Copies of this chain bind each other. A is one copy, B any other.
Amino acid sequence: MTIHDVAAAAGVSISTASKALNNTGRMAAETRERVKRIAGEIGFRPNALARGLLSKRSFTIGLLTNDTYGRFTLPVMAGISEALVDHGVSVFLCAIEDDPALGQIHVEAMLDKQVDGIIASGKRMDRRLPVDLSSLPVPVVYAFTEGTENSVTLRSDDAQGARLAVEWLAKLGRRRIAHVTGPEDFFSVRERASAYRDVAGDVEPVLYGIWAESWGHEAVGAIWARPGEKPDAIFCGNDQIARGVVDALRERGVRVPEDVSVVGFDNWEIVAAQTRPPLTSIDMGLKELGREAGLTVLALAEGRRVEPGVRKLPCRLVVRQSCGGMGPTE
């Protein structure tokens, strides 16, 4: 089923068939219509390989990630795919763990297949993928992972997200807002903590730990073991910690949200929705991040110029029940 068959069936030459189908060239309107109709009838679909060979565009991009869980990559992937499917672009997903050799293999396989571009993603914004993408013959966009000098990098605005959370708590009348978060060596952690400090002041401490429920438990233990006034809100570094915090509070007889409001970060449905009460959380908009990354790499592939540098996309607050209050006012 090639364009030869279409041409033969329509009684025209291959070139005429091609021009008819692509709406190019000059020809009688009747001819064009006839070719199109016949192509439709016999179900002709052009071979993308042949087309790509000539046009230097394969309508294919690669998504490289070391995020095994897919916690971050999957929403990003969904966004990319959603944005690009309309442009006829398909996406190679390459999970490379943290193996440089595997990364190299995948990158080479993609280059051989003439991908129009590569999006690099990861599980942590301040770490590089274990493979050098800085001098590839195709454009590269970094999404949710550290990019190289002069590259296009997309990330969520953690500071803005943190502010959103703390301001929401403040708006609900909370004054003693604590912050329980992940390891301090994460850039996101420092950024969120700093924004938290700006809005919440010095009333309560920042507790650094690990990204686990158990740490949320522990942190509540530590705070409530302390003499003096207790916090009336806890802003958590992610939803898992928040879940640990909520569970620990409940076990200790502290009511959420009546006595203490809790906000999580990530809006990881599976955690946030299953917590009792369900968590109000900050959504990093990973799908939008993916969409932007997809459109950006496409623009670069088409030769359009894109300003290099880091672009931060806004987070948004998702209100559930762990804070009390009504929906967001904005």
Q: Is the CB of A114 within 8 A of B49?
A: yes
Judge if A296 is at the interface, Cβ distance under 8 Å: no
**What is the bound-complex CA distance between A274 and B269, given in angstroms?**
16
The oligomer's copy count stands at 2
Q: Across the interface, which residues of B come within 8 angstroms of A213, CB to CB?
A: 274
- The distance in angstroms between the C-alpha atoms of A156 and B112, with both chains bound, is 35
* A18, CB-defined interface residue at 8 Å: no
Contact, CB under 8 Å: A60 / B113? yes
A125 to chain B, nearest CB (A): 20
Write out the residue numbers on chain B whose beta carbons fall within 8 Å of the beta carbon of A109. 59, 85, 88, 90
Q: Does A134 touch B at the CB level, under 8 Å? A: no
Whether, in the assembled complex, A188 has its beta carbon less than 8 Å from a beta carbon of chain B, the answer is no
Check A7 for interface membership: any CB of B closer than 8 A: no
Q: Which of A41-69 contact B (CB under 8 A)?
A: 45-50, 52-53, 58-60, 62, 68-69
**Is B85 in contact with A74, judged by CB distance below 8 angstroms?**
no
A77 within 8 Å of B by Cβ?
yes
- A212 near B68 with CB under 8 A, answer no
B residues less than 8 Å from A110 (CB atoms): 90
- Judge if A105 is at the interface, Cβ distance under 8 Å: yes
User: Would you call A262 an interface residue if the criterion is a C-beta within 8 Å of the partner chain's C-beta atoms?
Assistant: no
Please tell me if A92 contacts chain B, counting CB pairs below 8 Å.
Answer: yes
Contact residues of A between 250 and 273, Cβ < 8 Å to B = 251, 269-271
In this complex, how many residues of chain A approach chain B with their Cβ under 8 Å: the count is 48
Q: Does A165 contact B (CB under 8 A)?
A: no
Complexed CA–CA distance, A270 and B268 (Å): 12
A48 to chain B minimum Cβ distance, whole angstroms, is: 4
Residues of chain A in range 102-122 having any CB-CB distance to chain B below 8 Å: 102, 105-106, 108-114
Given known A-B contacts A74-B74, A113-B60, A92 and B95 have beta carbons under 8 A apart: no
A49's partner among B52, B68, B85 (CB-CB below 8 A) is: B52
What are 23 A-B residue pairs whose CB atoms fall within 8 Å in the complex?
A45-B108, A47-B53, A47-B114, A49-B49, A49-B52, A53-B53, A60-B113, A68-B78, A69-B74, A74-B74, A77-B93, A78-B95, A81-B95, A85-B105, A88-B109, A90-B106, A91-B93, A92-B92, A92-B93, A212-B274, A214-B276, A240-B274, A247-B247
Q: A49-B52, A92-B93 are in contact. List 19 more A-B contacts (CB 8 A).
A: A45-B112, A47-B112, A47-B114, A48-B112, A49-B49, A49-B113, A60-B113, A69-B74, A70-B70, A81-B95, A85-B109, A88-B109, A90-B92, A90-B94, A90-B113, A91-B92, A91-B93, A213-B274, A270-B270
